Amino acid sequence: MSKICVVGLDVGTTAIKGILVDEDGNILTKSDYPLKLISPKPGWAEEDPNEWWNGVKVVLKSLSTYAREHGIRISAISTSGQMHSLVAVDKSGEPLFNSILWCDQRTGKECDEITQKLGGEHKAIEITGNPILTGFTAGKILWLSRNYPEVFTKSHMFMLPKDFINFKLTNVYSTEHSDASGTAIYDIRKREWNNEILEILNLKVEQLPEIKKSNSIVGKITPETAYELGLDEEIIVVPGGADNACAALGVGVTDYDTAMVSVGTSGTVLVPTPTAKPDEEGRVHVFAHVVDGVNYYMGVMLSATNSLDWFNDITDFRDYDIINSEVDRVPAGARGLFFLPYLNGERTPHRDPNARGVLFGLSSAHNRFEIYKAIYEGVAYGLKDCYVHIPSANVKEFRITGGGSKSKVWTQIIADVIGKRLVKVSSKEGGAYGAAILAYSAVSGNAPDKVAKEWISITDSTEPNKERHEIYERNYEIFKSLYHSLKGAFESVARSYE
């Protein structure tokens, strides 16, 4: 009897990734396809949805070839995707415009207009769980209607990246709650599209996909696509989820006392919650999880490993064995040196695009490895800033992921700063692995969190050091005060260089 397996896809910003996973959670093979960002103007970011589809086809062909050669039957496909990015298609499902991405900044006026028409930011947060931000989908739709009215008029459906891929696989329009909750069109409490925002955008609800559960079924793969890619026509397509939610599921973060801390280019702290109550000041996001009935809070810092990369570029030094060894020898507190990791502004908790990076306390006695230590600590303080602003968070264990987690020294510093146990788990494929869990959940009938518990194991653990934690608690207060002392200066400098 052939082994039953599932495919997890991830439509990222830099690549399409795919993994073939068996019923025990083992990754049998993987494939990827690079993507190219399009930037027509400063602050604009686009990609061609058809290029995503081309990449998915390349990846699926590779996985299906492996499956045939090894007598494996693929039962289901599920996709994780970048949040917020807009795809507008005509009646035949063909894209009318490049996708405007999550990191695009062109929609400031439109976001302000939506916020004002809703009755102000507090009302917007009450409905959607978040401020109406430039990254989110609502402002992009309004911008399209104002700047390309002919495209807006021809648009039959507005959707998100992974939902476009699901449509291409099945010819069925659908989305699910985790991605819908990042559009700024979704009512986080009612778990449905919001009519008031639809009216502001001059949209009919029929122009947005039906919202399904993340582990439900969109449909079967079309015969034409099955033939082209060498796949079985009986393969089911599962909705999947937003990248952060799938990444959290992919490391087993589904319970309310467990959190995910991701140390990538940016840094995130994600904590599941049974409530939909937003942070009234909009410092942390609240979105729907891919686990039914669960939401999550998420704090975001913009420059995590990006801060390290910046200093590496300046020093032209990238020997991480030496960096980590020397940083480990520097005492906690970096001998009075502090780094504010606001190289590109900051989101949580300051929501300040004018904030900038700062090395404070620098003297001629400091060496470069003490600066590295300050950078490691500054990023850890930024992650703590995310965590402490999450309402009612009572986390016992953090599951750490991302490129920065490869450094045991940095992981220890983060544990010492936050004062919580950090663990690494067996799964290392992020959103694609979470998507595979959702696919297998649909096939097996088991809940996604149950599958995650069966598939994922802890491989390493880091406990906080009590003495260093006490030092970092004192220094964290200084770190926080530095931003408030410099906020006015950040604004003045920004005005001077407009």
84 is in an annotated binding site: yes
Are residues 111 and 221 located together in one domain of the fold?
yes
pLDDT value at 201 more than 90 = yes
Could you list the beta-strand ranges (E) of 264-357.
Answer: 267-273, 285-288, 295-301, 338-340
In tens, the pLDDT along 83-142 reads: 999 999 999 999 999 999 998 889 999 999 999 999 999 999 999 999 999 999 999 999
Q: What is the pLDDT of residue 455?
A: 97
Name the percent of the chain lying above pLDDT 90: 90
350 is in an annotated binding site: no
Are residues 197 and 274 located together in one domain of the fold?
no
In this structure, the number of other CB atoms found within 10 A of the CB of residue 315 comes to: 12
Task: For residue 253, give the nearest of 386, 384, 396, 446 by alpha carbon.
Answer: 396
In tens, the pLDDT along 387-418 reads: 999 987 789 999 999 889 999 999 999 999 99
Backbone angles phi, psi at 424, to 5 degrees: -105, 150
In a domain, 140, yes or no: yes
Q: Among 245, 266, 299, give the residue marking a domain's end.
A: 245
Q: Among 245, 274, 295, give the residue marking a domain's end.
A: 245
Domain of 79 in residue numbering reads as 3-245
Q: Among 177, 210, 245, give the residue marking a domain's end.
A: 245
pLDDT value at 189 more than 90 = yes
Alpha carbons within 13 angstroms on the beta-carbon side of residue 129 total 31
In a domain, 433, yes or no: no
- What is the dihedral sign for C-alpha 244, 250, 254, 256? negative
Are residues 97 and 165 located together in one domain of the fold?
yes
**pTM reported for the whole predicted model:** 0.92
Are residues 485 and 420 located together in one domain of the fold?
yes
Are residues 179 and 299 located together in one domain of the fold?
no
In a domain, 354, yes or no: yes
pLDDT value at 68 more than 90 = yes
Is the Cβ–Cβ distance between 398 and 418 less than 8 Å? yes
Are residues 95 and 124 located together in one domain of the fold?
yes
The number of domains in the chain is 2
Q: Cα separations (Å) of 290 from 177, 293, 296, 352, 468?
A: 7, 9, 10, 30, 37
Could you list the beta-strand ranges (E) of 293-357.
Answer: 295-301, 338-340
In this structure, the number of other CB atoms found within 10 A of the CB of residue 316 comes to: 6
Are residues 185 and 268 located together in one domain of the fold?
no
Backbone angles phi, psi at 447, to 5 degrees: -65, 145
Please compute the mean of the pLDDT values over residues 355-382 and round it to a whole number.
97
**What CATH number has the domain bearing residue 176?**
3.30.420.40
Catalytic residue among 32, 179, 243, 385: 243
In a domain, 146, yes or no: yes
In tens, the pLDDT along 242-294 reads: 999 999 999 999 999 999 999 988 899 999 999 889 999 999 999 999 999 99
Tokens of 479: 């770190």
Is residue 130 helix, strand or coil?
coil
Q: Compute the mean pLDDT over every residue in the chain, rounded to the nearest whole number.
A: 95
In a domain, 318, yes or no: yes
Q: What is the pLDDT of residue 8?
A: 98
Q: What is the pLDDT of residue 219?
A: 98
Are residues 14 and 131 located together in one domain of the fold?
yes
In tens, the pLDDT along 13-62 reads: 989 999 999 999 999 999 999 999 999 988 899 999 999 999 999 999 99
pLDDT confidence bin for 12, thresholds 50/70/90: very high
Are residues 63 and 38 located together in one domain of the fold?
yes
Q: What is the pLDDT of residue 1?
A: 45
In a domain, 442, yes or no: no
Task: For residue 107, give the nearest of 67, 154, 75, 140 by alpha carbon.
Answer: 140
Tokens of 313: 């570029």
Please compute the mean of the pLDDT values over residues 303-309 and round it to a whole number.
94
Q: What is the pLDDT of residue 428?
A: 86
Is residue 9 helix, strand or coil?
strand
In a domain, 330, yes or no: yes
pLDDT confidence bin for 2, thresholds 50/70/90: low
Distance CA 287, CA 393 (A): 15
pLDDT confidence bin for 353, thresholds 50/70/90: confident
Are residues 100 and 240 located together in one domain of the fold?
yes
Are residues 206 and 190 located together in one domain of the fold?
yes
pLDDT value at 419 more than 50 = yes
pLDDT value at 3 more than 80 = no
243 is catalytic: yes
In a domain, 458, yes or no: no
**Which residues contact residue 373 at a Cβ distance below 8 angstroms, ignoring those fewer than 6 apart?**
327, 330, 334, 337
Distance CA 384, CA 261 (A): 10
Length of the chain equals 498
Which DSSP string corresponds to 399-445? EEESGGGG-HHHHHHHHHHHTSEEEEES---HHHHHHHHHHHHHHH-
Are residues 236 and 268 located together in one domain of the fold?
no
pLDDT value at 498 more than 80 = no
